[in-house]
Chains A and B, each alone.
Chain A
Amino acid sequence: MSATDGPGAGILLEVRGLTKIFGSLKACDHVDLTVRAGEIHSLLGENGAGKSTLVKMLFGSLEPSEGEIRWNGAPVRIASPSAARKLGIGMVFQHFSLFDALTAAENIALSLDDETPIATIAAKAQALSHSYGLPLDPYALVGDLSVGERQRIEIIRCLLQTPRLIILDEPTSVLTPQEADKLFETLDRLRSEGKSILYISHRLEEVKRMCDSATVLRHGKVVGHCDPRQETAASLARLMVGNEVQSVVRDPVEGGAAAEPLLEVRSLSRRPATPFSIPLRNIDLTVRAGQIVGIAGVAGNGQGEFFEAVSGEVTQPEAATVRIRGNDAGRLNISGRRLLGAAFVPEERLGHGAAPRMRLSENLLLSRYATDAKAFVGGLGIVRTGAVDAAAQRIIAEMDVRKSARDPEAAALSGGNLQKFIIGRELDRKPSVLVVNQPTWGVDAGAAARIRQALIALARSGSAVLIISQDLDELFEVSDFIAVMHDGALSAPMPIAHATFEKIGLLMGGAEPGHAAPETEPA
Chain B
Amino acid sequence: MGIAESILLTIATAATPLLIAALGELVVERSGVLNLGVEGMMVMGAVCGFAGAALTGSAWLGVVAGILAGAVFSLLFAFLTLSIATNQVATGLSLTILGLGLSGMIGESFVGSAGLRLPSLHLPGLSDIPLVGKLLFGQDPIFYMSIALTAGVIWFLFRTRTGLTLRSIGDNHSSAHALGIPVIRYRYLAVMFGGACAGLAGAHLSLVYTPQWVENMTAGRGWIALALVVFASWRPLRVLAGAYLFGAVTIGQLHAQALGLGIPSQLLSSLPYLATVVVLVLISRNRRLTMMNTPASLGRAFVPDR
Contacts and interface: CB of A to CB of B under 8 A. Distances in A.
A498 B88 CA distance: 55
Contacts of B291: 101, 143, 274-276
B206 interface: no
Interface of B: 161, 164-165, 167-168, 171-172, 174-181, 287-288, 291-294, 296, 305-306
Interface stretch (A108-116, A185-193, A371-379, A414-422): A108-116
Nearest to B165: A110
Contact of B164 (A81, A109, A275): A109
Given A97-B175, A98-B175, A110 B306 contact: no
Nearest to A141: B292
A519 B178 CA distance: 35
Q: Which of B161, B174, B181 has the most CB atoms of chain A within a 10 A radius of its CB?
A: B161
Nearest to A273: B287
A348 B287 CA distance: 26
B180 A82 contact: yes
Interface string A86-117: 00000001001111111000110111000100
A393 interface: no
Interface in A299-330: none
Given A60-B180, A109-B164, A100 B296 contact: yes
Q: Which of B178, B293, B305, B306 has the most CB atoms of chain A within a 10 A radius of its CB?
A: B178
A97 B177 CA distance: 9
A254 to B, nearest CB: 48
Nearest to B160: A115
Binding site secondary structure of chain B:
helix
Given A100-B172, A115-B161, A275-B287, A61 B178 contact: yes
A276 to B, nearest CB: 7
Given A63-B306, A110-B164, A275-B287, A102 B178 contact: no
Contacts, number: 68
A85 B167 CA distance: 22
Interface in A376-421: none
Contacts of A85: 180
A80 interface: yes
Interface of A: 60-63, 80-82, 84-85, 93, 96-102, 106-107, 109-111, 115, 141, 143, 274-276
B306 A101 contact: no
11 contacts: A60-B180, A63-B306, A81-B180, A96-B175, A97-B172, A97-B179, A110-B181, A111-B179, A143-B292, A275-B291, A276-B291
Nearest to A116: B161
B178 A109 contact: no
Given A101-B292, A274-B291, A81 B175 contact: no
Given A110-B164, A276-B291, 20 more contacts: A61-B180, A63-B306, A80-B180, A82-B180, A84-B180, A96-B175, A97-B172, A99-B167, A99-B168, A99-B172, A101-B171, A101-B294, A102-B167, A102-B171, A106-B164, A110-B181, A143-B291, A275-B287, A275-B288, A275-B292
Given A109-B161, A109-B164, A97 B171 contact: no
A94 B269 CA distance: 55
Q: Which of B165, B172, B294 has the most CB atoms of chain A within a 10 A radius of its CB?
A: B172
B139 to A, nearest CB: 36
A350 to B, nearest CB: 15
Contacts of A102: 164, 167-168, 171
B178 A93 contact: yes
Contacts of B176: 97, 99, 110
Contacts of A97: 172, 174-176, 178-179
Contacts of A93: 178
B254 to A, nearest CB: 40
B298 to A, nearest CB: 12
Q: Which of A93, A101, A102 has the most CB atoms of chain B within a 10 A radius of its CB?
A: A101
B179 A110 contact: yes
Contacts of A101: 167, 171, 291-294, 296
Contacts of A80: 180
A107 B161 CA distance: 11
B175 A99 contact: yes
Nearest to B161: A115
Given A110-B164, A141-B292, A99 B180 contact: no
A96 B161 CA distance: 21
Contacts of B292: 101, 141, 143, 275
A483 B174 CA distance: 34
B43 to A, nearest CB: 34
Contact of B171 (A61, A82, A99, A109): A99
Nearest to A53: B305
Nearest to B159: A118
Q: Which of B164, B175, B181, B292 has the most CB atoms of chain A within a 10 A radius of its CB?
A: B175
A371 B34 CA distance: 40
A115 B162 CA distance: 10
Contacts of A115: 161
B57 to A, nearest CB: 45
A98 B179 CA distance: 9
Q: Which of B171, B176, B296 has the most CB atoms of chain A within a 10 A radius of its CB?
A: B171
A176 B165 CA distance: 32
A84 B175 CA distance: 16
A62 to B, nearest CB: 7
A195 to B, nearest CB: 21
Nearest to A98: B175
A84 B180 CA distance: 10
Contacts of B305: 61-62
A279 to B, nearest CB: 14
Nearest to A85: B180
B246 to A, nearest CB: 27
Q: Which of A96, A97, A100 has the most CB atoms of chain B within a 10 A radius of its CB?
A: A97
A346 B165 CA distance: 34
Contacts of B172: 97-100
A107 B172 CA distance: 12
Contacts of A109: 161, 164
A62 B164 contact: no
Nearest to A274: B291
A78 to B, nearest CB: 10
